[in-house]
Homo-oligomer: A and B are copies of this chain.
Amino acid sequence: MGEDTADTSSSGRQGRSNGATASAGVDDKTKDDFCLAAVYVSDAQFNRNIFFDTSPQAVSLYLLYNHWAMQMIVYVFIFVDLALALFEDPAVIPMPIWGTSLVEMICLIVFTARLFHYAKVIPRIRFWKDPKNICIIVIILLSLIDIIIYGSLKSTGYNAVRWSRVLRPLLLVNVTEGRQLRRAFRSIRNALPQILYVFFLFMFSMLLFSLMALKLFGKRNLFTVDGEPYFTNFLDIVFDLYVLVTTANSPDVMMPAYNYNSFFALFFILYILINTYIFMSVFLAVVYNNYKKHLKEEVRQLVKSKRQKMLRAFAVLQQPGSGEELVVSQENWNQLVHLVQPDISNAHRELLLFVFSLLLIGKLAFVQLPDLLNIQVITMKSRPHPLHIWFPLLYDSSVSRLLRHAVKHKAFVYIYDLIILVNAIFIGLDEENPLIAYAEWAFLALYLLEILLKLYTWEPRAFFAKHQFWNWFDSVIIVAALVGAIVNLSDGYTSRQILDIVLILRVLRLIRVVDSIKRFRTIINTLIKIGPTILTFGQLILVVYYIFAMVGMELFKEKVKYLEADSTDPYKDSCGTPLLRGTTFAKNNYCKNNFNNVVSSFILLLELTVVNQWHDILSQSVHGFKAVWLYNNLFHLFFSGYKTVDGLLQRMFEADLSLEDADDMDDPNFSNITFDSV
């Protein structure tokens, strides 16, 4: 995974094309030259670091390889491949083995084809040196072998395990497009050695406290609430104190000692202070420092490789200018911009021309192109309202003017905020009251009226512009609510699902009030902008969860069962197994927290992430089934480490993006450095 930033050496083509232009003189750039330069520019723009072949065929193949549709196809098939877990045994929706195998085969074929395509684009030797490619080949081969073994074993009636499913999420990491995910993993890996030292010290402190607890409480003949001996076994103490670090068993573990003597509370207070607060802070500090160091280096590398690519592009298009300097003519420059971004808006192109108000573009100016292309230009055209064109007299009449003026007035916003408030109260009331049901229609009408009035006042295309998040939000919610309400009405109020959707939409409508308070809007907009970053970590979590879910399912499926109330199972009250009889797990109705399919596995893992009660869920659901210690601890160790890192990264991002700076965030470098580069 380390090649992304390292691979910035220059390609063979550069020299040739450089030499060619030098000898052939001015303005004889071929279409291939433009293609090559455009590829360099767009690589720089999107921070791609692929060492492609520079022959015209390879370049056009490479263009195809980077086409958004191709990338989309890969992600769709990865999604399908991952989603197969829903249909494979233990399944949410069972499907025959040949069915899932067939779909998986298709996925594998797509991945192979993509890899072939990649092999055609880059030099052979490069291809085999890249661990990403080797990884994908290994995953594909192992999956194939697994499908064959599993299919043949199952058809002959043997039991079999689909072990290769663990490898599936690794595809997400190893595809060419998984740059950001790889970077995130690299960050974690780089922090590991440092974290390890703190972790050892933390373990040491935990063991020391455990030893002290054994000596202090072991001989005192104390008992827990369940009547078990308290703190007599060293390993049990270690586990209890480990759980206490996460504060999940917080007062319970202390109570017997505290009841015996108030002073013993000091032991636990000190323990939590040192191991939960201080050590966790040190973990955080170490990760943060490492991350900052690493980030700086990554950004430096990215900027360097971006510049190199732009210099290569310049070398392809350069021609002698006045004096010693090599330059690119504005004509060639325009052609290049058109090639790189065919759908560039006129405003954006004008802006670029304004920035480079020169006829010949030198090296220094040329290098800035990708940053300038990444600027998000919002075009604010003051187009006349279509009604103004169609019915000018009516639209300009004094009544119409007054109406438009009223809609633009602040009071209009306040009135609708009040309506939303009243609506909220009505929602809170019982909707089976016919009066409330009628009021609901009135509210819907009011909201619709608002949208229509706004569309009357503002030009519709400006109202529904790309960046007008709140207008889109309003309209979609209201229209959906209207459709839902009508369907619900025609359905005679019988379908619970539709009613649920209508109810949710009704509540979501209230979010609109946020838009009218400026500070709230700022906060929400900031959160929306952070979205892409969070998405990367979402993928990271998906990878980890998926692997653990697969392992968990193979190990524990059907060990704990959720039984409906009318079940006749003799162990109905203890999740279908005699082992859980009388445990807190069964008493608290946790039976559905099991590994019986991929959905409940994911929910279970999420619950463990939220930490509270994790020890109950895990150790209880596992009590009878030994050999689980390892899995148990592995997940939680991995996870507590992981959580620190991940939570931290998110926090750091948000800390770096101060809400104060929300206005600065339209800065062109912002999206570059924070979203794409990191």
Contact = CB atoms under 8 A, between A and B. Distances in A.
A255 B262 CA distance: 36
A655 B288 contact: yes
Given A215-B503, A269-B603, 20 more contacts: A208-B508, A208-B511, A211-B424, A211-B427, A211-B510, A225-B589, A234-B428, A247-B611, A247-B612, A250-B611, A251-B593, A251-B610, A252-B588, A255-B592, A256-B589, A258-B603, A259-B562, A262-B599, A281-B651, A284-B651
Given A225-B589, A654-B282, A211 B507 contact: yes
Interface of A: 194, 197-198, 200-201, 204, 208, 211-212, 214-216, 225, 234, 247-252, 255-256, 258-259, 262, 265, 269, 272, 276-278, 281-282, 284-286, 288-289, 293, 424, 427-428, 431, 500, 503-504, 506-508, 510-511, 513-514, 519-520, 523-524, 526-527, 562, 587-593, 599-600, 603, 606-607, 610-613, 617, 647, 650-651, 654-655, 657-660
Which 5 pairs of residues, A with B, have the shortest CB-CB distance? A250-B612, A215-B503, A285-B654, A289-B658, A212-B507
19 contacts: A197-B520, A200-B520, A208-B510, A216-B503, A247-B610, A250-B610, A251-B607, A251-B610, A252-B588, A255-B588, A256-B589, A262-B599, A269-B603, A282-B523, A284-B651, A284-B654, A288-B655, A289-B658, A293-B660
Nearest to A267: B504
A355 B424 CA distance: 72
Contact of A507 (B215, B272, B587, B588): B215
A77 to B, nearest CB: 25
A278 B610 contact: no
A225 B573 CA distance: 12
A424 to B, nearest CB: 7
- Specify which of A252, A272, A500, A610 lies most central, judged by the most chain B CB atoms within 10 Å of its CB: A610
A182 to B, nearest CB: 24
Contacts of A658: 285, 289
A204 B612 contact: no
B428 A250 contact: no
Instruction: State how many copies of this chain the complex holds.
Output: 2
A215 B506 contact: yes
Contacts of A284: 651, 654-655
A6 to B, nearest CB: 24
A202 to B, nearest CB: 10
A613 B514 contact: no
A527 B282 contact: yes
B281 A654 contact: yes
A593 B251 CA distance: 9
Contacts of A650: 277, 281
A600 B251 contact: no
A200 B519 CA distance: 11
A523 B212 CA distance: 23
Nearest to A650: B281
A277 B607 contact: no
A252 B431 CA distance: 28
Contact of A272 (B281, B524, B610): B610
B587 A225 contact: yes
A197 to B, nearest CB: 5
Contact of A215 (B262, B427, B514, B600): B427
Contact of A523 (B201, B506, B514): B201
Contact of A250 (B510, B587, B607): B607
Given A252-B613, A284-B654, A285-B659, A507 B607 contact: no
